[in-house]
Chains A and B, each alone.
Chain A
């Protein structure tokens, strides 16, 4: 293993990494510990978990009754046990980087030793949460491109940011990519902010936040009286006619949501940089305000891109750009940006242009919606049936809710009338959605890519490299078979693993797969 140090050094060109070798002779590389400041973070977390109680007791003047005491004790107990387990982890964990591999040992009762062979390391990502940033720490995630099992990669949680940067440069044999370099593809721009406001967050955030605050206060002993709230609201909006009051409330909530979406966008995408370094075969991505995310994506693992257009984004011709690549997990966390996101919401044109510069010739053109083949009319019929069925269920359900809550007064006739009236807008929405979903269907094969497009709430245009296709599935329900339709799916190791073109004509679907993967289907085709 270590008997050919010279050769290995030349091979990797990482003079730094072989530093622990004394006088040229291979020696044991010493083990390092995680950063002790993670203990300070664990202690800080205990105080943060007590904070809502302190606020409730001092500012809102809640009673320290039995329920509150139990909740407080539970919070402290969870915090302390969390801190103890962190301390234990710090005490037992050791890591080191040898010529061949990165090793991590942890645990005392159940000893765990993980390692990743250095030649398989594909990504080294640094990530730091708010508290970790405060203490100058970061989590280093070393990925090997495998999704699970032994050799799937390691996580050093947490080391000093300097140490993290050092490990990254050493393991990937790169320098810091963030100078002004010709490879820069995109950077933070304020002009993209409007696209960020056009998100589900804008509508959903106020509801979530208000609900969360209410929940938090009531766990901590403050129970805002609903009746009092309604009285305050009536006082405020009393002089206003009802429609104006509703408009005012909705407008306030949307404004709050927009503010939240803007804050979220700043937090996630501040310092955004996307750079391509062709010489090293790496796409470097960095972004974040409080939590800085920084990762290197290997170009040879890229299998394509996906443009995602949500309903709020579509009128403004905006889109999100996502990478389709192997060894990248689908999501990071509900609060972080998606792991495969290549940038904030931006104009569709810009997203397509970046895709073109990332994946090379033809990619930008492949995202062109106008060039996609449409799907058979039978696909529209299926969607109309679904729309009508959804309306037929939704209208009576809404009427029933109305009756239970007392908005719809009266017996069965009132219920029937309400359901009938509600059925009209429900049908309109259902049929509009059916038409939209049908028009969003499309597929195309270019010389290098398979392009599929579908979706209602989020329209996805996937541009998948044909070389990345590892197989084909064709799926048809009883109804699809009667209509001569089938849903072909290209399976791949990258991204979501399956990219499909819903409801294609059987012959067209077979032809598409046959041309996309030449020779694969040939032995199984009917002559």
Chain B
């Protein structure tokens, strides 16, 4: 601590602090991934809404009236969410910690120190394989502490895993 001013606030070291955004964006192909996932989610939901409305009302006009706003919401979701996410999702690996930001409506900033990392692995679902991207997951001893970097270029992901594995092996301790 460099606190030398007498009577300085002992509660706060400096003024209000804020986290800056992590340095790197995820791969642009993530937008396609999120869009396809959103479609995969909304189409069955719309079909269920249509079915329920049709069986309950037995009226084509009413069914359309229910389905129209649901359809607009789904289209807005598919159109907007992926771009919103792409602007939010960022990651950074510093010497002693991993730092990510994710989400869109609800956003989350996560920080895990290298010394507490337990496992590092990559997952590639069918969609991601087709797009050539990987998700890197870093787990800590806490069930709530795992960090996901959702869409990285495959080779970049592999390099990152390599780097993280080496960095965590270098730190002793059982990470709890």
What does the 1/0 interface line of A456-489 toward B look like (CB < 8 Å)? 0000000000000011111111100100000001
Distance in angstroms between the alpha carbons of A519 and B97 in the assembled complex: 10
What does the 1/0 interface line of B112-143 toward A look like (CB < 8 Å)? 11001000000000000000000000001111
Contact B97 A523, beta carbon cutoff 8 Å: yes
CB of B109 within 8 Å of the partner chain: yes
Contact A474 B18, beta carbon cutoff 8 Å: no
CB of A151 within 8 Å of the partner chain: no
User: Which residues of chain B are within 8 angstroms of A481 by Cβ–Cβ distance?
Assistant: 107
Interchain CB contact (< 8 A) of A524 among B19, B107, B108: B19
Q: How large is the interface on B (under 10, 10 to 19, 20 to 34, 35 or more residues)?
A: 20 to 34
CB of A491 within 8 Å of the partner chain: yes
Contact B111 A472, beta carbon cutoff 8 Å: yes
Given A478-B105, A521-B111, A498:B142 Cβ within 8 A: yes
Given A514-B17, A519-B96, A523-B94, A470:B111 Cβ within 8 A: no
What does the 1/0 interface line of B4-24 toward A look like (CB < 8 Å)? 000000001101111110100
Contact B96 A473, beta carbon cutoff 8 Å: no
CB of A492 within 8 Å of the partner chain: yes
In the complex, what's the smallest C-beta–C-beta distance from B98 to chain A, in angstroms? 9
User: Which residues of chain A are within 8 angstroms of B175 by Cβ–Cβ distance?
Assistant: 470, 493
Contact A510 B17, beta carbon cutoff 8 Å: yes
Q: DSSP majority for the B interface?
A: loop
Interchain CB contact (< 8 A) of B145 among A471, A515, A523: A471
Contact B12 A473, beta carbon cutoff 8 Å: no
What does the 1/0 interface line of A4-28 toward B look like (CB < 8 Å)? 0000000000000000000000000
User: Which residues of chain A are within 8 angstroms of B140 by Cβ–Cβ distance?
Assistant: 470-471, 491, 493
CB of B27 within 8 Å of the partner chain: no
Distance in angstroms between the alpha carbons of A472 and B94 in the assembled complex: 15
- Chain B, 78-126, CB within 8 A of any chain A CB: 92, 94-97, 99, 105-113, 116
Contact A470 B17, beta carbon cutoff 8 Å: no
What does the 1/0 interface line of A495-527 toward B look like (CB < 8 Å)? 001100000011110110111010111011110
User: Which residues of chain A are within 8 angstroms of B107 by Cβ–Cβ distance?
Assistant: 475-477, 481
Contact A510 B145, beta carbon cutoff 8 Å: no
User: Which residues of chain B are within 8 angstroms of A511 by Cβ–Cβ distance?
Assistant: 12-13, 16-17
CB of B56 within 8 Å of the partner chain: no
User: Which residues of chain A are within 8 angstroms of B99 by Cβ–Cβ distance?
Assistant: 523-524
* Most chain B Cβ neighbours within 10 Å, of A326, A520, A524: A524
User: Which residues of chain A are within 8 angstroms of B20 by Cβ–Cβ distance?
Assistant: 524-526
Contact B116 A471, beta carbon cutoff 8 Å: yes
Given A510-B19, A524-B19, A472:B110 Cβ within 8 A: yes
Contact A471 B96, beta carbon cutoff 8 Å: no
Given A472-B110, A477-B105, A524:B143 Cβ within 8 A: no
In the complex, what's the smallest C-beta–C-beta distance from B111 to chain A, in angstroms? 5
Interchain CB contact (< 8 A) of B141 among A326, A510, A520, A525: A326
Given A478-B105, A524-B92, A470:B141 Cβ within 8 A: yes
In the complex, what's the smallest C-beta–C-beta distance from B84 to chain A, in angstroms? 10
Distance in angstroms between the alpha carbons of A525 and B15 in the assembled complex: 12
Contact B96 A493, beta carbon cutoff 8 Å: no
In the complex, what's the smallest C-beta–C-beta distance from A103 to chain B, in angstroms? 23
CB of B144 within 8 Å of the partner chain: yes
Contact A520 B145, beta carbon cutoff 8 Å: no
User: Which residues of chain B are within 8 angstroms of A470 by Cβ–Cβ distance?
Assistant: 112-113, 116, 140-142, 145, 175-176
Distance in angstroms between the alpha carbons of A288 and B94 in the assembled complex: 51
Interchain CB contact (< 8 A) of B111 among A476, A478, A524: A524
Distance in angstroms between the alpha carbons of A523 and B97 in the assembled complex: 9
In the complex, what's the smallest C-beta–C-beta distance from B172 to chain A, in angstroms? 15
Distance in angstroms between the alpha carbons of A489 and B111 in the assembled complex: 10
User: Which residues of chain B are within 8 angstroms of A476 by Cβ–Cβ distance?
Assistant: 106-108
Contact A474 B144, beta carbon cutoff 8 Å: no
Interchain CB contact (< 8 A) of B142 among A474, A492, A525: A492
Distance in angstroms between the alpha carbons of A491 and B106 in the assembled complex: 19
Contact A473 B109, beta carbon cutoff 8 Å: yes
Contact A497 B143, beta carbon cutoff 8 Å: yes
Given A470-B113, A470-B145, A472-B111, A478:B18 Cβ within 8 A: no
Nearest CB in chain A to that of B138: its residue: A471
Distance in angstroms between the alpha carbons of A472 and B20 in the assembled complex: 15
User: Which residues of chain B are within 8 angstroms of A521 by Cβ–Cβ distance?
Assistant: 17, 19, 111
User: Which residues of chain B are within 8 angstroms of A493 by Cβ–Cβ distance?
Assistant: 140-142, 175-176
User: Which residues of chain A are within 8 angstroms of B92 by Cβ–Cβ distance?
Assistant: 524
- Chain B, 24-76, CB within 8 A of any chain A CB: none
User: Which residues of chain B are within 8 angstroms of A492 by Cβ–Cβ distance?
Assistant: 141-142, 145
13 new A-B pairs (CB below 8 Å) besides A472-B111, A492-B142, A520-B96? A473-B110, A473-B145, A475-B106, A476-B106, A477-B106, A491-B144, A497-B142, A497-B144, A506-B16, A511-B13, A513-B111, A514-B17, A524-B94
Binding site for B on A (CB under 8 A): 326, 470-478, 481, 489, 491-494, 497-498, 505-508, 510-511, 513-515, 517, 519-521, 523-526
Binding site for A on B (CB under 8 A): 12-13, 15-20, 22, 92, 94-97, 99, 105-113, 116, 140-145, 147, 175-176
Q: Could you name 7 residue pairs across A and B whose Cβ atoms are closer than 8 Å?
A: A471-B110, A474-B109, A475-B107, A478-B105, A515-B13, A523-B96, A526-B17
